[in-house]
Amino acid sequence: MSHLILIRHGQSEWNLQKRFTGWVDVDLAPKGKLEACKSGELIKEKNIKIDYFFSSIQLRAINTLKLILNTMRIKDNFEKAWELNERHYGALTGLNKDEMKKKLGEKKIHEFRRSWNIKPDPLDKNNPYHPINIEAYKSISKENIPDSESLEDTYNRVIPYYKSNIENKLIKNKNVLVVAHGNSIRSLCKYLFKLNEKKISSLEIPTGNPLIINFDKNNQIIKCKYLDESRAKDLIVF
């Protein structure tokens, strides 16, 4: 049996401010740091040897994983991949979610946030929040840097990376921990649990709460659960 542990980064500074974050490289809020440490404690209690660690290249995911490793007293390298980054929110980036609900209507904002193939208007390349203007993304080829993304776009970069770099390790009975983001994890859940476009729009991913997925020898899911059951979301799959 192999284990895949998926963790959305702890609450970020912009989560706290209710701003559309996407590819803006913000750090963890104090609560997010506590969530990361709690994640480490919960995983440590399971006494599972984790063979591989992955994160996106965004600061809030990297620092969540570093705090988890520190809490577990593990000194190990981990792989960082831009393909695991959060969805790009285009022209909504940096704006307050509540204010935009008042301006555009709750239905439209829900559509932008949860629909499968609808994306916001592109973010102007001169905007300081555009990824081409953020130092953390200088190593990424410009052709791979989006101006805006739908969940479908996010899925189409996350899943090929997962198949090439993570799935093969699970098949070999290795245990893997991935720290990523709400929409990159939603993409993984769509693939793993074979969710349709309607169901994936209802899936919420809590911050800093490890989702452990158990696979049998045929790489079929046999069980899954959030380790912090008091903050678990409805997985709508089991």
Q: Is 152 exposed, middle or buried (CB count within 10 Å of its CB: 0-12, 13-18, 19+)? A: middle
Relative orientation angle of helices 151-165 and 182-192, to the nearest 10 degrees = 70
Catalytic residue among 3, 9, 88, 181: 9
In the predicted model, what is the mean pLDDT of the chain? 94
Closest to 84 measured CA to CA, from 154, 170, 168: 154
Render pLDDT for 178-218 as a digit per residue (tens, 0 to 9): 999 999 999 999 999 999 988 888 888 999 999 999 999 88
Angle between helices 97-104 and 106-114 (to 10 degrees): 120
Q: Is residue 157 part of a domain?
A: no
Question: Domain limits at 146?
Answer: 2-30+48-150+177-231
pLDDT of residue 138: 94
In a domain, 184, yes or no: yes
Q: Is residue 224 part of a domain?
A: yes
Does residue 204 carry a catalytic annotation?
Answer: no
Check: CB of residue 20 under 8 Å from CB of residue 89: yes
The size of the chain, in residues, is 238
Is 156 a domain residue? no
**Which residues are within 8 A (CB) of 93 and not within 5 positions of it... i.e. 6 or more apart?**
20, 21, 22, 23, 24, 123, 127, 129
* Count of domains forming the chain: 1
Could you say which of 35, 86, 149, 167 is catalytic?
86
pLDDT tens-digit readout, 9-36: 999 999 999 999 999 999 999 999 999 9
The predicted structure's pLDDT at residue 238:
47
Q: Does the annotation mark 167 as catalytic?
A: no
Q: Is 42 within the bounds of a domain? A: no
SS3 55: strand
CB atoms < 10 A from the CB of 1, how many? Answer: 11
Q: Does residue 137 lie in a domain region? A: yes
Token pair recorded at residue 187? 């993409």
Looking at the domain assignment, is residue 22 inside a domain?
yes
User: For residue 7, what pLDDT is reported?
Assistant: 98
Give the contacts of 51 (CB within 8 A, at least 6 positions apart). Answer: 169, 174, 175, 176
- What is the pTM assigned to this prediction? 0.95
Within a domain: residue 169? Answer: no
The helix (H) or strand (E) run that includes residue 212 is strand 211-215
What pLDDT does residue 109 have?
A: 85
CATH of the domain at 15: 3.40.50.1240
Q: Which residue has the tokens 């899954």?
A: 224
